Amino acid sequence: MSLPSARILAIESSCDETAAAVLENGRTVLGAAVASQMEIHARYGGVFPEVASRQHILSVVPVVEKALAQAHLTLADLDAIATTRGPGLAGSLLVGLNMAKGLALGANLPLVGVNHLEGHLYSAWVTQPGDETNEEPQFPLMALLVSGGHTELILMSDHLNYIRLGATLDDAAGEAFDKVARLLSLSYPGGPSIQKAAEQGNPMAYKFPRAWLENTWNFSFSGLKTSVLRQVRELESASGNSPAEEFSLPVNDLAASFQAAVADVLFTKTMSAAREYGAKQILLAGGVSANQVLRQAFLDQAEFPVNIPPLSLCTDNAAMIASAGYYRFVHGHVDPLSIDILPTWPLS
Ligand code: KG4
Ligand code: ZN
C-alpha cells in the first residue's frame, strides 16, 4: 500500500537538545537543526532541568527557522506539525509543545503529538536525500530501545503497532553508563566517556555480573552498578597504605569491563527475543545504540539483518519525531491543539 505524501516539520525538546527537522514522506530529511546544551549541563554533571527549559526557550525559534531555511520551505509548504509530547522533562517538553501549537494555530496546520520512544524507533526510517533507495525496515521487527531513561524490548508488527515485551526493572542502560561514569570521575554524558576510557582498557579485567532474568524479557542494571562501586571501594581500600599520589584507579579496565557486561546482556537478550518472535530484523534505537561495542556485537554476531541508525540519529533529534509524526498523520492520528504533555509510554 502506498501512503500519501506529506511534508512534516517536527520539534524535539524533551531533554537537553532543541531540535527541529523537516521530512518528506516520513523518510527524507529536507532540513534539520539542533542546538545542544550538553556543554552547559556537563558543568553540573547532569541535566539541570530549569536551565534546560530556559535554553529551549532561547533556541526553539532559531532552530525551527534554520530547519525550514535549509529545506527551502515556509510553513505554507507543510502538511502538519509534529512535536514530542513525552516522556521527558516537563519544562523542556512544554517549550517544544507550545511552539508546535503556535505554529499549527498560526499556519492552520494539523498538530501531531509523538511519543519520544516511538520517535526513537522511527529513526530507522529516516534517510538523507538521495538515499531513499535504502530498504525500509521489515516487519515483524524486534527493537532494542536503549536510552537514558528507558531500556525496552519492543516487538513491532506493523507501523504504530508496538508490544513491549520487557523493560528494565531499575536503572536504564544509559542511566547505568551515566552513574558508573560519575563513579569513575568521568565526564557527563557518561556513555561516550566510558566508551572512550574503555578503548584503552581490558574488558576481561573484572568479572562483573550479568542479570539475565531468565524467562522474562526484562533487564536490570542496578546490581551491575553496585558491583562496580564495590570493586572501586575494594581497590581504594587495598591501596590504603600507598601514598595518594601513587594510587590511581584502573578506570580504563573498569570502564571496559562494565561496558562489556552491559553489551553482553543487551545483545544476548535481543537475539533470543528476535528468535522467539520470528523477527525479520533487529532494530537498535536510543542514545546507547551509539555505543561502538554494542553496535559491533550486533554487526559481527547477529543472525538477523540489523538496522542501526547513524550516530546522529541515535541520540535525541527531530528527524525521528518527524518520521513517527508522518506515520501517525497518514494513519489519521491528529491531535487537538489543547493536548498536554504525556509523561509515560502509552503504546504498550
Ligand atoms: O536517547 P538519548 O539521547 O536521550 C534519552 O532519550 O534518554 O540517550 C541518552 C543516553 C545517555 O544516558 C548517554 O550516556 C547514552 O545515551 N549514550 C551512550 C553513548 N552515547 C550516548 N551510552 C553508551 N555509549 C555511547 N557511545
Ligand atoms: Zn531520547
Residue range 242-267, pLDDT digits in tens: 666 667 899 999 999 999 999 999 99
CA distance linking residue 131 with residue 116, whole number of Å = 25
Ligand 2: centre distance to CA 223 (Å): 24
Determine the distance separating the centroid of ligand 1 and the alpha carbon of 341, expressed in angstroms.
22
Ligand 1 atom, smallest distance to 174 CA: 12
Q: In this model, does residue 94 exceed pLDDT 90?
A: yes
Q: How many residues does the chain have?
A: 348
CATH T-level fold of 7-128+313-330:
Nucleotidyltransferase; domain 5 (3.30.420)
Is the pLDDT at 347 greater than 60, yes or no? no
Instruction: State if pTM tops 0.85.
Output: yes
The rounded percent of the chain whose pLDDT value lies above 70 is 96
Asked whether the predicted pLDDT for residue 276 surpasses 80, the reply is: yes
Ligand 2 centroid distance, CA of 14 (Å): 8
**Which atom of ligand 1 approaches the CA of 178 most closely?**
14
Assigned architecture for domain 141-309:
2-Layer Sandwich (3.30)
Q: Tell me, in angstroms, the distance from the centre of ligand 2 to residue 231's CA.
A: 30
Q: Where in the chain is the domain with CATH 3.30.420.40?
A: 7-128+313-330, 141-309
For residue 336, pLDDT over 80 is answered with yes
- CA–CA separation, 15 and 24 (whole Å): 25
Q: What's the pLDDT tens digit per position in 296-335?
A: 999 999 899 999 999 999 989 999 999 999 999 999 999 9
| pLDDT for residue 16 | 87
Q: Whose CA is nearest to atom 10 of ligand 1?
A: 148
Query: Band of the pLDDT at 110, cuts 50, 70, 90?
Result: very high
For the segment 112-135, the average pLDDT, to the nearest whole number, is: 89
Crossing angle of helices 190-198/251-276, nearest 10°? 110
Tell me how far apart the alpha carbons of residues 205 and 188 are, in angstroms, rounded to a whole number: 24
List strand residue ranges (DSSP E) for 44-183, in order.
80-86, 111-115, 141-146, 151-158, 161-167
The residues facing 282 across adjacent strands are 142, 306
The closest residue, in CA terms, to atom 14 on ligand 1 is: 191
- Is the pLDDT score of 343 beyond 90? no
Q: pLDDT tens across 37-79, in order?
A: 888 888 887 788 888 899 999 999 999 999 999 999 999 999 9
Name residue 55's amino acid.
Answer: Q
Higher pLDDT, 184 or 243: 184
Question: Does residue 175 have a pLDDT over 70?
Answer: yes
The answer on pLDDT for 188 being more than 50 is yes
Measured CA to CA, the distance from residue 294 to residue 296 in angstroms comes to 5
Question: Are 20 and 318 a contacting pair, CB within 8 Å?
Answer: yes
* Average pLDDT of the residues of the chain: 94
- pLDDT at residue 82, as a whole number: 98
- What does each C-alpha distance from 238 to 185, 206, 242, 256, 296 come to in angstroms? 19, 16, 9, 21, 35
Determine the pLDDT at residue 348.
43
Give yes or no for residue 241 having a pLDDT over 70.
no
Within 6 A (CB) of ligand 1 lie 15, 147-149, 174, 177-178, 189-192, 195, 286-288, 290-291, 315-316
- Using the atom order of ligand 1, give the atom closest to the CA of residue 14: 6
Residue type, 293: V
